[in-house]
């Protein structure tokens, strides 16, 4: 497999009929160009030039070889230049997997800034409630939880995934707030059936002292999407157990209130997944850095922590 330097030395020498002139154009020494051409001839097993003290003359084999690679060499040089610039400047399709509720609420608002900084990036963002296979499905990155860490995949923790009990103020207006998770069984439950297992999940909650208790919500309303649970709770239909990030705007604007403020369920972590840090594409690095910067600037890890009450 010939190096580009050997091929370029041959082409420039053929065009100028001189090692010295080729060296000047390539900013090399004449000896280096001559050595590159000699290596190419040795590897091919043919003589490409007839050498004299005055000039170089292509042999018949040299003429055929020049015709074969001339245009291809220019295309190869252009391809190398494009890839090299892409390695330093973020560019290309950025394929990312995000959960619908979390992604649209907390990551999608970062897109204008990403495109302002890196206009050559073309986002292809998939909003889906499933752990994807980054390598097999061609994703550059994913944000979520519960992904299998295949070889070469990095998980960068962004924030805790804490589950809390919420309800609309109107729903609780004429009801006595529960004092512990067991009391949730006396209220209407808005629960979710897992798309993966087909089961309804009930959460074990804990408090700051480490006491654990299962929250057995009645299966009053069953849906299969966290966003639907949130909207049903806002309509005053009952209690929902949801991740803090999925209801943070509603808690802050008062359309939902948190029950049992000192109790939460730990569902692991919200992580940013991407391929190995080695030779990480510039577009992926730009996305990873922007998300990390936003989480730090907006103190999202702290705000998502249901353990803080």
Pick from 278, 14, 21: nearest CA to 152: 278
Give the sign of the dihedral formed by CA 269, CA 272, CA 275, CA 279: negative
Pick from 193, 217, 197: nearest CA to 265: 217
| pLDDT given for residue 228 in this prediction | 94
Q: How many residues does this entry show for the chain?
A: 309
C-beta of residue 242 within 8 angstroms of C-beta of residue 229: yes
Q: What is the pLDDT of residues 292-306, one digit of tens each?
A: 999 999 999 999 987
The parts of the chain modelled with pLDDT lower than 50 are 1
| pLDDT given for residue 82 in this prediction | 54
pTM of the predicted structure, to 2 decimals: 0.68
The count of other CB atoms within 10 Å of the CB of residue 223 is 16
Which backbone phi and psi does 272 adopt, to 5 degrees? -105, 120
Helix (H) or strand (E) holding 301: helix 300-303
Give the span between the Cα atoms of 295 and 291, in whole angstroms.
Answer: 6
| pLDDT given for residue 4 in this prediction | 79
Residue 81, C-beta contacts closer than 8 angstroms, at least 6 positions apart: none
| pLDDT given for residue 83 in this prediction | 55
**Residue 265 β-bridge partners:** 163
C-beta of residue 167 within 8 angstroms of C-beta of residue 298: no
């Amino acid at each position: 497999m010939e190096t580009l330097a050997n091929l370029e030395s041959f082409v420039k020498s053929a065009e100028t009929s001189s090692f010295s002139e080729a060296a000047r154009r390539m900013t090399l020494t004449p000896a280096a160009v001559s050595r590159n051409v000699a290596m190419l001839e040795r590897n091919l097993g043919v003589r490409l030039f007839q050498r004299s003290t005055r000039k170089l003359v292509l042999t018949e084999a040299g003429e055929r070889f020049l015709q074969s690679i001339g245009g291809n060499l220019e295309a190869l040089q252009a391809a190398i230049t494009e890839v090299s610039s892409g390695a330093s400047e973020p560019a290309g399709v950025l394929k990312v997997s995000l959960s619908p509720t979390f992604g649209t609420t907390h990551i999608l608002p970062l897109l204008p800034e990403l495109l302002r900084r890196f206009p050559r990036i073309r986002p292809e963002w998939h909003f889906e409630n499933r752990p994807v296979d980054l390598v097999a499905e061609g994703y550059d990155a994913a944000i979520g939880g519960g992904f299998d860490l295949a070889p070469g995949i990095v998980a960068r923790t962004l924030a805790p995934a804490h589950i809390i009990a919420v309800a609309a103020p109107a729903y609780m207006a004429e009801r006595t707030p529960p004092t512990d998770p067991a009391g949730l069984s006396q209220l209407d439950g808005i629960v979710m059936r897992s798309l993966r297992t087909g089961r309804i999940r009930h959460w074990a909650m804990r408090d700051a002292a480490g006491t654990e208790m299962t929250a057995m919500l009645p299966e009053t309303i069953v849906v299969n999407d966290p966003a639907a649970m949130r909207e049903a709770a806002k309509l005053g239909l009952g209690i929902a157990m949801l991740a803090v990030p999925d209801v943070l705007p509603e808690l802050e604007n008062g359309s939902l209130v948190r029950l049992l403020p000192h109790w939460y369920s730990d569902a692991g972590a919200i992580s940013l997944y991407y391929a190995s840090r080695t030779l990480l594409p510039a577009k992926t690095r730009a996305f990873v850095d922007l998300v990390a910067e936003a989480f730090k600037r907006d103190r999202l890890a702290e705000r998502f922590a249901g353990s803080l009450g």
